[in-house]
């Protein structure tokens, strides 16, 4: 997640925003150095039977970072390129067709990228690497990071 200098993650939710206390407690005990990985955030969502967006909101309100996006889009260290993506055109034309067929406003939702990966039995990053090679943005994030 990116933010301008002086901005807080919580700013995007408004002054009166509140998080589910169960989520807040679980995030606090799961975070390492003020970070919660995407995998852990989704595990918490499943465990508490809450939408991933609620967990993302709670992470924001705690001013923690989300790291290691499962699609490789952010949270992989410092420097100019914090992504783990390696653009690679899809070898399977059906995979490319599934990606293109799922676009909304020329973007692929994170949730749809996950579904496509599951449908084709490929790692999630295979889908995001294909999107990168095809010039397709993945947005929105299930956790609300982007």
Write the pLDDT tens digit of every residue in 97-143.
999 999 999 999 999 999 999 999 999 999 999 999 999 999 999 99
List the domain range (segments joined by +) for residue 99.
Answer: 93-138
* 81 found inside a domain: no
Calpha distance 48→5 (Å, rounded): 33
pTM here?
0.89
What does the alpha-carbon distance between residue 86 and residue 105 come to, in Å, rounded to a whole number? 24
- Does residue 103 share a domain with residue 62? no
Residue 14: pLDDT band (50, 70, 90) is confident
Residue 113: CB atoms within 10 A of its CB come to 25
Give the model's confidence band at 11: pLDDT under 50 very low, under 70 low, under 90 confident, else very high.
confident
pLDDT for 7 equals 80
Is 107 inside a domain boundary? yes
DSSP notation for 20-78: -HHHHHHHHHH-BTTEEEHHHHHHHHHHHT--HHHHHHHHHHTTPEEES-TTSSS-S-S
CB atoms within 10 A of CB 115: 14
Query: How many domains in the chain?
Result: 2
> Are 58 and 98 contained in the same domain?
no
């Amino acid at each position: 997640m990116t933010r301008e200098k002086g901005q807080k993650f919580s700013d995007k939710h408004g002054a009166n925003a509140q998080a589910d206390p169960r989520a807040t407690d679980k995030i606090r005990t799961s975070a390492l150095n003020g970070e919660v990985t995407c995998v852990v955030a989704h595990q918490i969502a499943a465990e508490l039977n809450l939408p991933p967006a609620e967990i993302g909101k709670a992470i924001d309100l705690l001013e923690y970072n989300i790291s290691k996006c499962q699609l490789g889009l952010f949270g992989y260290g410092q420097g100019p390129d914090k992504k783990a993506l390696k653009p690679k055109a899809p070898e399977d034309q059906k995979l490319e067709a599934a990606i293109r067929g799922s676009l909304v406003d020329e973007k692929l939702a994170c949730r749809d990228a996950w579904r496509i990966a599951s449908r084709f039995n490929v790692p999630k990053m295979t889908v995001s690497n294909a999107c990168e090679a095809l010039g397709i943005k993945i947005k929105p994030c299930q956790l609300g990071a982007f």
